């Protein structure tokens, strides 16, 4: 919730807002006060009827103030005055101020969380003038028509029910925290006990393989020497001469005595050391056979800006993951080689790949011991290299119970998500597209994996920069409301002058000047345009569905289809925006344009 949403419903009859938060907080850009309501700094004088005072309390005394500052302001309240208490604690310690509010006759009318990085909650209260309670407010900020005993009874009943719900939630949170701590301790202990043994086993196995490779190379060298000796022997040369003469008797028979005589003359000549081989023979030996398995596999040598997965995956999952990550599919005969060569962020084993058809079918079921042994070697190789091993349990665990016997750094008990391009917006509707985009898409599932292994977040590809040019205070207030009201909130707002947009910074939206730094750019240069809350959400849904480079309104009014031209681009890829080419030339340069029908500006 924004500060204006909490404050404005309680400004009826208020002519002055008194800022008593001190110099740490500058709340003027957050308030957007209506005409007729003035804002003034606190002069440490009494606050009476028709006035509302702002005070704050939080963990940073220089920014939020202290408990004593709040108590001093409460003492200056007179009957009919109102107040807005801003709390900077993630879990507000309301109990420290509750007694003071009751002592000074202050009734809390409404409390709500705030969507800012340094202000987490706010509470509106009023200084009562007698023994009667003021009507409370419902969830929408509207006063509930009641008085006297009915008001007290409502507050008492709601307090008991709220305490019941919060008590069970607190108990559940404490239980989950305890289980998480126990699981972390158990995992650390198991990792500490088995890491040395697994590392020693991996080292021994690598030494054995290296020894076997050296022996094979020595045998190859011996065979090469024997072949060279045989090729230089007189018996072989005589045999070749006889065979050549037999193949063409007319010419070969005439040359045969001369060749044999030459061999006889050279039998006692001292052998000369062979000359240097041509440059082609001095080339490096061919790569070992294991490298040939990397042909046609995904590999990136650029700076790591995408999640890299080496996995035991089904065909459909590998195809879906490849749209947002670098995917290397592991096979039983080359899994260890790929893990060493590609250096993945995570080695992922999908349970469905072990229960269906494919090279890993029946792994973990106990019916294919050779596959289980290959799986154990693969996971040992991954842990020896410091790569995270993840079990993606998208099927019943009982279908492959043997996988639970392996050691995993993480287990994901969820499906692999839905790729938006596999949906049909015409049949399923845009609501379904929005739902999948926000909660059930493949990119969301990969983001969970990336957070577990500390890899680049695939959701960075959804970040949007808004280009705006507000002219005055009214335009700034309108811009703030539109940005914070978006269901898919922008990551940054680029303006000529960031003055007066501090509320966006406090809400986690970067405000600055210059060029965009995120993946997508939206042009909001018209300050008078009405933009629905679903604008950016629908545009990003359409982009992820189509994979287009620019989206917007088409001249013919087409919707959800590729077009050769856009009449009005609404969302553009950053690289296309920085290229500076006119929209008319985009299609001719190979960019994909996608039409999305939306609300036109009036």
Q: For 386-467, where are the alpha helices, taking DSSP H only?
A: 425-435, 442-453
Domain contains 32: yes
Query: Span 558-581, mean pLDDT?
Result: 94
pLDDT-based confidence at residue 444 (cuts at 50, 70, 90): very high
Which segments within 361-417 are labelled E, that is strand?
388-392, 410-412
Please check the confidence at residue 344 and state whether its pLDDT lies above 60: yes
Residue 198 has a pLDDT of 65
Over 496-563, what HEC string results? CCCCCCHHHHHCCCEEECCCCCCCEEEEECCCCCCCCCCHHHHHHHHHHHHCCCEEEECCCCCCCEEC
- State the number of CA atoms in the 13 A half-sphere of 134 facing the CB: 22
pLDDT-based confidence at residue 151 (cuts at 50, 70, 90): confident
Of the listed ranges 74-78, 206-210, 227-231, 237-241, the least confidently predicted one is 237-241
pLDDT in tens, 20-35: 998 788 898 899 999 9
Of the listed ranges 59-73, 162-176, 507-521, the least confidently predicted one is 162-176
pLDDT-based confidence at residue 142 (cuts at 50, 70, 90): low
The reply to whether 476 and 421 lie within a common domain is: no
The reply to whether 106 and 59 lie within a common domain is: yes
Q: Longest Cα pair distance anywhere in the chain, in angstroms? A: 137
Higher pLDDT, 54 or 243: 54
The reply to whether 7 and 95 lie within a common domain is: yes
Residue 268 has a pLDDT of 52
The reply to whether 398 and 506 lie within a common domain is: no
Please check the confidence at residue 449 and state whether its pLDDT lies above 90: yes
β-strand pairing of 561-562 with 593-595 = antiparallel
Averaged pLDDT of the chain: 85
Domain contains 400: yes
Domain contains 543: yes
Collect all residues with Cβ–Cβ distance below 8 Å to 317 and sequence separation of at least 6. 350, 352, 353, 416
β-strand pairing of 464-468 with 492-494 = parallel
- CATH at residue 20: 3.40.50
Residue 114 has a pLDDT of 92
The reply to whether 571 and 502 lie within a common domain is: yes
Please check the confidence at residue 601 and state whether its pLDDT lies above 60: no
Domain contains 577: yes
Domain contains 537: yes
Q: What are 561's strand-pairing partners? A: 595
Report yes or no: 518 and 494 within 8 Å, Cβ to Cβ: no
The reply to whether 418 and 475 lie within a common domain is: no
Percentage of the chain exceeding pLDDT 70: 84
Report which of 31, 92, 50, 96 is spatially closest to residue 69, judged by C-alpha positions: 96
Q: What are 110's strand-pairing partners? A: 124
State the Cα–Cα distance between residues 177 and 40, nearest whole angstrom.
45
Report which of 197, 359, 389, 356 is spatially closest to residue 293, judged by C-alpha positions: 359
Residue 264 has a pLDDT of 60
Please check the confidence at residue 374 and state whether its pLDDT lies above 50: yes
The angle at the Cα of 83, spanning 80 to 85, to the nearest 5 degrees, equals 160
Report which of 465, 415, 453 is spatially closest to residue 325, judged by C-alpha positions: 453
Q: For 266-417, where are the alpha helices, taking DSSP H only?
A: 315-321, 335-342, 351-355, 369-384
Query: Span 126-151, mean pLDDT?
Result: 71
The reply to whether 415 and 472 lie within a common domain is: no
The reply to whether 397 and 519 lie within a common domain is: no
Query: Span 76-85, mean pLDDT?
Result: 93
pLDDT-based confidence at residue 238 (cuts at 50, 70, 90): confident
Please check the confidence at residue 290 and state whether its pLDDT lies above 60: no
Please check the confidence at residue 149 and state whether its pLDDT lies above 80: no
Sign of the alpha-carbon torsion through 496, 499, 503, 505: positive
pLDDT-based confidence at residue 246 (cuts at 50, 70, 90): low
On whether the pTM is more than 0.85, the answer is no
Percentage of the chain exceeding pLDDT 90: 54
Residue 247 has a pLDDT of 65
pLDDT in tens, 457-501: 999 999 999 999 999 999 999 999 999 999 999 999 999 999 999
Please check the confidence at residue 296 and state whether its pLDDT lies above 60: no
Residue 166 has a pLDDT of 79
> For residue 105, what are its two tokens?
């006759």
State the Cα–Cα distance between residues 389 and 405, nearest whole angstrom.
13
Residue 293 has a pLDDT of 47
- CATH at residue 535: 3.90.550.10
- Pick the last residue of a domain from 118, 145, 172: 145
Question: Considering its fold, how many domains does the chain have in total?
Answer: 3
pLDDT in tens, 220-229: 888 888 787 7
Q: What are 520's strand-pairing partners? A: 464, 573
Domain contains 394: yes
State the Cα–Cα distance between residues 460 and 210, nearest whole angstrom.
42
Residue 599 has a pLDDT of 56
The top-scoring range by mean pLDDT among 227-231, 271-275, 319-323 is 319-323
pLDDT in tens, 37-73: 999 998 889 999 999 999 999 999 889 988 999 999 9
The reply to whether 413 and 521 lie within a common domain is: no
The reply to whether 118 and 11 lie within a common domain is: yes
The angle at the Cα of 545, spanning 570 to 580, to the nearest 5 degrees, equals 35
Higher pLDDT, 191 or 556: 556
pLDDT-based confidence at residue 280 (cuts at 50, 70, 90): very low
- Pick the last residue of a domain from 385, 412, 431: 431
Query: Span 349-365, mean pLDDT?
Result: 93
pLDDT-based confidence at residue 138 (cuts at 50, 70, 90): low
- Pick the last residue of a domain from 92, 124, 145: 145
Domain contains 583: yes
**Which residues span the domain enclosing 322?**
307-431
Query: Span 444-456, mean pLDDT?
Result: 94
Higher pLDDT, 277 or 127: 127
pLDDT-based confidence at residue 87 (cuts at 50, 70, 90): very high
Domain contains 295: no
β-strand pairing of 307-312 with 106-113 = unpaired
Please check the confidence at residue 283 and state whether its pLDDT lies above 60: no
Query: Span 539-549, mean pLDDT?
Result: 96
The reply to whether 400 and 484 lie within a common domain is: no
The reply to whether 405 and 468 lie within a common domain is: no
């Amino acid at each position: 919730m924004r500060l204006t949403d909490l404050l404005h419903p309680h400004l009826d009859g208020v002519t002055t807002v008194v800022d008593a938060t001190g110099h740490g907080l500058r709340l003027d850009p957050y308030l957007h006060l209506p005409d007729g309501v003035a804002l003034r700094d606190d002069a440490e004088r009494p606050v009476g009827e028709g006035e509302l005072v702002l005070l704050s309390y939080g963990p940073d005394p220089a920014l939020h103030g202290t408990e004593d500052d709040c108590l001093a302001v409460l003492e200056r309240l007179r009957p009919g005055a109102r107040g807005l208490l801003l709390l900077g604690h993630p879990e507000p310690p309301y109990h420290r101020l509750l007694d003071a509010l009751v002592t000074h006759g202050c009734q809390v009318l409404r409390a709500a969380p705030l969507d800012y990085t340094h202000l987490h909650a706010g509470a509106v209260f009023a200084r009562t003038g007698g023994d009667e309670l003021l009507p409370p407010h419902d969830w929408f900020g509207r006063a509930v028509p009641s008085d006297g005993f009915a008001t007290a009874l409502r507050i008492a009943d709601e307090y008991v029910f709220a305490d019941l719900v919060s008590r069970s939630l607190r108990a559940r949170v404490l239980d989950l925290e305890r289980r998480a701590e126990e699981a972390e301790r158990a995992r650390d202990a198991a990792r500490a006990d088995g890491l040395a043994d697994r590392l020693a086993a991996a080292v021994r196995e690598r030494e054995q393989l290296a020894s076997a490779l050296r022996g094979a190379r020595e045998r190859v060298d011996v065979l090469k020497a024997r072949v060279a000796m045989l090729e230089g022997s007189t018996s072989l040369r005589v045999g070749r001469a006889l065979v050549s003469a037999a193949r063409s008797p007319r010419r070969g028979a005439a040359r045969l005595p001369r060749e044999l005589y030459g061999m006889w003359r050279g039998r006692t000549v001292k052998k000369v050391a062979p000359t240097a081989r041509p440059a082609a023979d001095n080339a490096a030996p061919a790569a070992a056979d294991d490298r040939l398995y990397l042909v046609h596999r995904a590999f990136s040598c650029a700076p790591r800006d995408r999640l890299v997965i080496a996995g035991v995956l089904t065909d459909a999952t590998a195809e879906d993951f490849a749209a947002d990550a670098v995917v290397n599919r592991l096979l039983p005969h080359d899994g260890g080689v790929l893990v060493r060569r590609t250096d993945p962020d995570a080695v992922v084993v999908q349970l469905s790949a072990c229960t269906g058809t494919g090279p890993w079918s029946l792994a973990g079921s106990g019916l294919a011991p050779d596959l289980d042994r290959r799986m154990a070697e693969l996971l040992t190789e991954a842990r020896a290299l410091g790569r995270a091993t993840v079990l993606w349990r998208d099927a019943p665990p009982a279908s492959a119970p043997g996988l639970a016997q392996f050691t995993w750094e993480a287990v994901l008990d969820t499906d692999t998500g839905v790729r938006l391009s596999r949906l049909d917006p015409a049949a399923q509707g845009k609501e379904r597209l929005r739902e999948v985009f926000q909660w059930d898409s493949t990119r969301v599932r990969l983001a969970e994996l990336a957070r577990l292994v500390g890899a680049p977040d695939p959701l960075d590809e959804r970040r949007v920069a808004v280009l705006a040019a507000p002219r005055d205070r009214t335009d700034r207030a309108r811009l703030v409301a539109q940005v914070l009201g978006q269901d898919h909130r922008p990551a940054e707002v680029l303006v000529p002058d960031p003055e007066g947009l501090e509320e966006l910074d406090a809400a986690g939206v970067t405000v600055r000047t210059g060029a965009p730094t995120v993946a997508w750019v939206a042009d909001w240069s018209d300050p008078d345009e009405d933009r629905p809350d679903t604008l950016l959400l629908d545009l990003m849904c359409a982009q992820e569905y189509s994979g287009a480079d620019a989206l917007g309104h088409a001249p013919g009014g087409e919707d959800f289809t590729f077009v050769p031209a856009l009449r009005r681009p609404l969302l553009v890829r950053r690289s296309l925006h920085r290229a500076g080419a006119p929209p008319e030339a985009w299609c001719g340069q190979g960019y994909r344009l996608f039409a999305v029908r939306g609300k036109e500006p009036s």
